[in-house]
Amino acid sequence: MSTIGVIFDLDGVIVDTAKYHYLAWKNLADNLGFEFTEAHNELLKGVSRVTSLEILLDIGKVQLTEEKKQEILISKNEEYLSYIKKMNADEILPGAEQLLDTLDALGIKYVLGSASKNAELILNQVGLYHRFHGIVDGNSVSKAKPDPEVFLIGAVKLNLPPKNCIVFEDAIAGVEAANVAHMTSVGIGDKNTLQEADFNFNSLTEIPEGFFSKFII
């Protein structure tokens, strides 16, 4: 049994569903009468659905009742679900399956640690659900990243201490959560944005051969 384990964020690491969130949030903003851009969408990365709505309403300077907010959150999620129900294996990001193959060959277990409440559905849609040793998602946690709760539960599922876990993340809040949990953080994406990560790569295709050997005791 390996002395290390890996925790993957989902969106922006294994698949890219940000585009579908963007379309759903943009349609919502359009209906409320203001512009929501791709730059605005970056503010919602790794953030819970409820907080995302608050950010969006703040951008549009729109005030709504709690009842209306709940109504909007349900309709936004229904629209988002209509997009992800059409996903397939073509939407797995480059390098992801090869990395999972490498981990399998090394006997390293891996789990998912995502804020998404639709993580299981997405992994099933792209055919990767059966490969993960466990799933920790938005249905399993009470605190959003940068709180480390999602990753600490992931460590329990791996049956490993946090310091033996390596986290792959594409969001600042996720990297921060991994660091707070005293895990090794690997930032996937812009190095300047994710400068707090212990390691940085533009994509999973750049993970060097032998990367994990330095962690195995």
**Residues marked as catalytic:** 9, 11
Roughly how many angstroms between the first and final C-alpha of the chain, as a whole number?
A: 11
Residue with token string 């949990």: 181
Please give the Cα distance from 123 to 118 (Å, whole number).
9
SS3 19: helix
How is 111-128 classified by DSSP, letter by letter?
Answer: EEE-S-TTHHHHHHHHT-
Helix and strand element counts for the chain (H, E): 8, 6
Please give the Cα distance from 14 to 8 (Å, whole number).
8
Q: E strands of 40-113, at which residues?
A: 109-113
CB 158, CB 111: distance < 8 Å: yes
How many Cα atoms within 13 Å fall on the side-chain side of residue 53?
18
Give CA angle at 124 (122, 130), nearest 5°.
125
Q: E strands of 9-156, at which residues?
A: 109-113, 134-136
Task: Give 159's DSSP letter.
Answer: T
